[in-house]
Structure 1
Amino acid sequence: MTQWFRAHWGEEDVWFYFEIDADGWVARQIELRGPDATPIAAASLAEWQDAQDVGGLNAYEATYGITAEIPIQEWEGYDPQPLTRDEFETAWRHARHHLRTTR
């Protein structure tokens, strides 16, 4: 079952939004920095894998970033706040638009 949540990293003032698949892996990840929530990443694991397969990984990462590389079961020290799918999708659309038009 897919889950959506967000967590704040206070040291860098970054909100992380996650879409987690049934196996606990990050399927999509958004990173928003600072008080104005500037998007700094909006990566999809499936897109990242596709970019790797066709030799476009550097361009993908430069535009959208990457997702977490370990399953959620191995994370420590985060305080997840549940999100609805609609809340995640709204943040995803905003972040992707911002990253496509500014990078």
Structure 2
Amino acid sequence: MTSWFRSYWGEEDIWFYCEVDDEGWVARQIELQGPHRHPIAAASSAEWEAAFQAGSSGRYEAAYGFTAERPVTEWEGHDPQPLTRAEFQAVWAEARRALTAGHSGTPSSTTP
């Protein structure tokens, strides 16, 4: 079952917003940094995989970042705060708009 949460990493002043599957793997991940919550990543593991298969994963990562490489069950020191799908989706859409505006010619998606 898919779930959504956000978690704060104080060392870098970053909010992580994650959509995870029932095994804890991140399907989509947003990173917002600083007091103004500037989007620095809004990545989809499915989109990254498609970009990798097409030989353009570097371009995708430059535009949208990447998702966690470990399941959230292995993360240390994070305090997940549950979100609804709608809450996550609103932040996803806004982050993707901001990141896409800065990287023309890069694929955009608001759904996984």
TM-score w.r.t. length of structure 1: 0.97
User: Secondary structure of the residue that 2:95 maps to in structure 1?
Assistant: helix
What corresponds to 1:82 in structure 2? 82
Among all aligned residue pairs of Structure 1 and Structure 2, give the percentage whose two residues are the same amino acid: 61
What corresponds to 2:72 in structure 1? 72
What corresponds to 1:34 in structure 2? 34
User: Secondary structure of the residue that 1:76 maps to in structure 2?
Assistant: coil
2:71 & 2:34 partners in 1: Cα distance? 26
1:57 & 1:80 partners in 2: Cα distance? 28
Say if 2:11 is the partner of 1:8: no
Runs of 5+ in structure 1 lacking a partner? none
Say if 2:53 is the partner of 1:53: yes
Q: CA RMSD in A?
A: 0.6
Say if 2:97 is the partner of 1:97: yes
User: Secondary structure of the residue that 1:29 maps to in structure 2?
Assistant: strand
* Paired letter, 1:76: E
Q: Deviations over 1:3-61 (max 9, x none)?
A: 00000011111100000012210000000001111000000000000000000101000
TM-score w.r.t. length of structure 2: 0.90
